[in-house]
A = this chain, B = another copy of it.
């Protein structure tokens, strides 16, 4: 069941959703030791305990504090510690130093979660909630789902750069009857409608329904695999500047990049760190942990290109249900990209797909009022759009119009490649 802001949705189902989403965050942390919750190996990673507290602060700060009578904040210092980037909400502990804080402990943060959950339960049970508050609450749930995804990225980074390569957890084995046959789906030229048109929840950055003209194009029906990407690696793709954007090639040289993140060559064999530990690379699984620069260079090396976000959205809507059904989401607990099976078009799940579209405002974009206006709009520069969700995304969190965005050099997140071309 998808989360909805329709007035007909009862408060009961909200509470149910709330508890489900909150429970998943806790479940994702179960395999961790207290020490794992603290570290921040690079600025892009947040300590897991920070995610646990920040998502809780969201509900405390935007729901309980302004709305619940007699609510007392759990700890007055937490506002300073767990605000992420909301200038509206005042000063905050700087992001790059989140890993410098050993306190509050995980147990204290778990108490904070329980305290807020208890009050949320009471609040949602006792009072009649206005449409405006339900909207904020809905954002809070999607916000927590986004942080669940970041949490998995960050846990993988924390464990994956450790020379001991500890496993997060073990998984079921690989699927055998994969289908790597490749098809390019054709889309005819025309004026298409872009942006969210449904009645359920969507973010402000998907709104402002508008039209775009697309020339005809072809787009791959599945993701690029590890095996395909390894050909690029072995062909010297990282050494030939002609495939690369200049800033991409400077990044390759400065950071000494030779393969996707987490890949390492051990005694002549490529391995990679997965959430199950250090493993041989499955050539049939989708390649992951490539930056936009690598995705773009790979596409050029193949004589093709990345699709735009509009090409992706139009093709997805043609071939996939508007509300995703089974795909490799966090709901499956696979915790890794899976080889395509059967005849799936594999637009959803597995890994986010880089597009060749800069993350910018839609023509009719309107920034919401207040702190939540800082949610999406202020990031619309120097980032590229990604589509489709990953194995750490919740099924009810994703849609064809969903716009994710990252800086082009980042690759600790779960990112892959789909190709397109003119015809």
> Given A358-B360, A381-B408, do A38 and B85 touch, yes or no (CB 8 Å)?
no
> Given A210-B215, A422-B363, do A33 and B245 touch, yes or no (CB 8 Å)?
no
Whether A166 lies near B422 (C-beta < 8 A) is no
Q: Which of A353-407 contact B (CB under 8 A)?
A: 356-358, 360-361, 363-364, 373-374, 378-382
Q: Name the B residues within 8 Å of A81 (CB-CB).
A: 163
How many copies of the polypeptide does the oligomer hold? 4
Contact of A105 among B35, B100, B215, B292 (CB under 8 A): B35
CB A333 to nearest CB in B, in angstroms, measures 22
| Residues of A bordering B, CB below 8 Å | 33-41, 49, 77, 80-81, 85, 87-88, 93, 97, 99-106, 158-159, 161-164, 166, 191, 210-213, 215, 217, 241-242, 244-249, 292-293, 305, 356-358, 360-361, 363-364, 373-374, 378-382, 408, 422
Whether B247 lies near A381 (C-beta < 8 A) is yes
- Complex Cα spacing A373 to B101, Å: 36
Whether A211 lies near B211 (C-beta < 8 A) is no
Q: Name the B residues within 8 Å of A162 (CB-CB).
A: 100-103
What's the dominant secondary structure at chain A's contact region? mixed
Q: Which residue of B lies closest to A247 (CB)?
A: B381
Q: Which residue of B lies closest to A377 (CB)?
A: B245
Q: Name the B residues within 8 Å of A247 (CB-CB).
A: 381-382
Q: Which residue of B lies closest to A382 (CB)?
A: B382
Q: Which residue of B lies closest to A106 (CB)?
A: B35
Whether B245 lies near A380 (C-beta < 8 A) is yes
